[in-house]
Structure 1
């Protein structure tokens, strides 16, 4: 269905479409809050962590553009995007189930690769489905609702170890065994991922192509053979505003892995004086890392209610820049405190930055990308976040001790500086011309 004739959807139609994102993000939240401690329980050193985190960006770089290109040319009895996010959720839930129970580091790493491959298979179709089904006027709201789901899923995942502590689940560890508070959090994750994915699958009806027989004939036998030509064509024809967006992605997503790799460890190190897994307070300190992530996501959730209106009023690039600047100040402010509550306050500022990161670029992409190629461009936008993450993970381990002083809090300060650079670069993005061209092309296709 062309964007120009897409009907206005009810709140609950958009909600049902986005609800599966809650479970996917619960899975991501589990790994972001707990994976570095799990690696260290299995004997990994701090300077090895970036390399062990490579699964996320590598699978994202390879899978999301491929899934976008394939799903653009696919139509099944279940829809275009829905089969991909359902299979991703099913496979990801298996990896979540076993990750905290396997006895060796290499097994954890292997399951991490499977989990991220599955989650990336599921995530891109959720993004593209909003572009497929939601008209231009409602897109900021729909992507803001996805931000709400991201925040909600990651809040629950981040708080699960603390919730387990509240109910008396053991946090005891000898420095080599994973505590029960982490294990049970992952078991809950399986349930959340499956329920939310099946809900969106059952409650959402995708729009078929306008001439479905012509669509099938055009793409018969070409789905796989057209992947590379489609990717190359999309890169060559990429709108200027998305090329400008790349530079913002480069600096912000070089910094963001530092947060996932070192935030929990920084809290254990500086707030609980527990720099190693065998130190007293390490398990509790890393659990409070989950609390910090929860505060960040609560802030993001609150900001998501206002971000659509502020974009309509002030423009996407200005909102993006302000969010990144506030987030950068949050990271840098952590240098000034060893108090848990002040650290949580800093993470509230980071939550504003995260709201911009996970919302504004996708609104930009949906508005400027050609309607028939929205899946592949959503995949490429996600690929933009993967390359800088790979660069970070291959390089930070080499300078962690020499440049960052072996201190996880200094890694967070570097992330803050990169966010400020990204804020300046965001002001250069101008989507107005590309969005006008895209809208005119859609209207012309509609008349044809």
Structure 2
């Protein structure tokens, strides 16, 4: 490793602005997906307890795509640079998927389009996280991630409210005949596709990247990973445990006649167990010079900061996924009194959820400005803990607020926790990662976003069906408890300041 003479040059405010601007476009696609896919599924005939398993495409795709993209982007260098080729190809694919999604004629085509759309979003999104670490000196990385949170909020404010705006500002209908997606949703997806492509292209055109040789020159010799790819890694032990647990779950499904969502959980655990056993076989035979083994061994050898943050991320994202899946059915049923997708009450409630999602993203813009001040005064850990506690209160309050208009107050808390989750864990983690592993480790860090989402998608349906008697509002309460656990876990994180 080359000892650097100095840290990377400081970038101007507008250089950081341009570098992060594409994230606004990505969030247009992400927010349209989060705010409307459950509505599309229900319109095309999905029952409420089927929604989580239909959503499983999103986290599963991220689990597969992000580490692969991170691994290859670490090793890419061409005319567009290192990360920007992935921005371009992912943005083109996402734009196409956004145009097709609201025209899905059947439920299973819509589920397949969700899979494709989320894969494309992940191809674009993952390198943006690594780009901040690539281009910014240590002292500016916090600002870079806060800027990304700012653009996420700005993009999501508009995107989440688009169906409501289409109806109330432009007179486009928010209802349609049975089995047909309302035009307000369809036109929102078209508009979002254009914004996403333009925003990502702006970052591609205005942002330069360091070559691998330049990054090596600026590498910090004090940044050491708490891992080694040499020596024996306990793949076999973990693989056997996961495979055994997966088979036990599948046996319970058969004996107890549990739902297909639990079947997926058992199958996923078994597959992961098999992947660990395959890694052990490669390790035993010395077949370690390949991307699959590299990702698996890097995951096993994570820095201690990353392991500690993994717990925080797990419970934070379980809560977020519960909110994204169940806010529409919870609000339409609990606050608007209808679960019938053909009624005006249901569609008014679904539109109001879009406004609420726009509101929390709007408040996250303010939070992205306030949080750096909190960090300066209180530090990263305390600031993140406070925001996680705010998120817990916001989620729990849904069950106690009877007037749907007053739900807007809960969105203030949700906005702060959303901005915090998108920035402060990365600020704590980034200085523990070297430039030649930035992409793959950001991809692996996504595991602890994806795994809780997969768990939520597989067990929340059963919980709502069997424990909560079909009342989706209690899934939001469970999300609030999950935030409380994350707030406790963050107090145990140690990181390089």
| Aligned residue runs from structure 1 range 101-250, under 5 A | 101-166=103-168, 167-210=170-213, 226-250=290-314
The residue number in structure 2 matching 1:347 is: 411
Q: Aligned match of 2:486 in 419, 422, 444?
A: 422
Deviation at 1:399, TM superposition (A): 2.0
Q: Contact 1:365/1:377 (CA < 8 Å) preserved in 2? A: no
Q: Contact 1:4/1:135 (CA < 8 Å) preserved in 2? A: no
CA offset digits 1:259-291 (Å, max 9, x no partner)? 111112222112221222123321121011110
SS of the equivalent of 2:103 reads coil
Counterparts of 2:179 and 2:194, CA distance in 1: 27
Deviation at 1:212, TM superposition (A): 9.5
Deviation at 1:173, TM superposition (A): 2.3
Deviation at 1:397, TM superposition (A): 1.5
Deviation at 1:24, TM superposition (A): 0.7
TM-score normalised over the length of structure 1: 0.91
SS of the equivalent of 1:368 reads coil
The residue number in structure 2 matching 1:280 is: 344
Counterparts of 2:192 and 2:408, CA distance in 1: 24
Which stretch of structure 1 is more off in the superposition, 349-358 or 9-18?
Answer: 349-358
Deviation at 1:371, TM superposition (A): 2.7
| Aligned residue runs from structure 1 range 219-368, under 5 A | 226-368=290-432
SS of the equivalent of 2:466 reads coil
Deviation at 1:98, TM superposition (A): 0.9
Counterparts of 2:5 and 2:425, CA distance in 1: 19
SS of the equivalent of 2:171 reads coil
Counterparts of 2:340 and 2:449, CA distance in 1: 30
| Structure 1 residues without counterparts, runs of 5 or longer | 215-223, 436-448
SS of the equivalent of 2:367 reads helix
Q: Contact 2:175/2:344 (CA < 8 Å) preserved in 1? A: no
SS of the equivalent of 1:205 reads coil
The runs of 4+ residues in structure 1 deviating greater than 4 Å are: 1-4, 211-214
The residue number in structure 1 matching 2:90 is: 88
| Aligned residue runs from structure 1 range 17-36, under 5 A | 17-36=19-38
Q: Contact 1:3/1:134 (CA < 8 Å) preserved in 2? A: no
CA offset digits 1:345-396 (Å, max 9, x no partner)? 1122111111111111111221221232111111111121111111111112
| Structure 2 residues without counterparts, runs of 5 or longer | 218-287
Which stretch of structure 1 is more off in the superposition, 149-158 or 279-288?
Answer: 279-288
- Cα pair distance change 1:425/1:250, threshold 3 Å: same
Q: Contact 2:156/2:362 (CA < 8 Å) preserved in 1? A: no
SS of the equivalent of 2:398 reads helix
TM-score normalised over the length of structure 2: 0.82
CA offset digits 1:198-247 (Å, max 9, x no partner)? 11110011111226999xxxxxxxxx963223223422331111101111
Counterparts of 1:72 and 1:226, CA distance in 2: 14
Q: Contact 1:263/1:412 (CA < 8 Å) preserved in 2? A: yes
Which stretch of structure 1 is more off in the superposition, 348-357 or 166-175?
Answer: 166-175
Deviation at 1:315, TM superposition (A): 2.0
Which stretch of structure 1 is more off in the superposition, 134-143 or 2-11?
Answer: 2-11
Q: Contact 2:66/2:122 (CA < 8 Å) preserved in 1? A: yes
Q: Contact 1:173/1:283 (CA < 8 Å) preserved in 2? A: no
CA offset digits 1:83-120 (Å, max 9, x no partner)? 00110010011010011112111111111111000000
Counterparts of 1:49 and 1:3, CA distance in 2: 54
Counterparts of 2:472 and 2:297, CA distance in 1: 42
Which stretch of structure 1 is more off in the superposition, 270-279 or 377-386?
Answer: 270-279
CA offset digits 1:54-76 (Å, max 9, x no partner)? 11111111111111111111111
Counterparts of 1:96 and 1:289, CA distance in 2: 20
The residue number in structure 2 matching 1:51 is: 53
Counterparts of 1:277 and 1:353, CA distance in 2: 31
SS of the equivalent of 2:161 reads helix
Over the aligned positions, Cα root-mean-square deviation in angstroms equals 1.9
Deviation at 1:52, TM superposition (A): 0.4
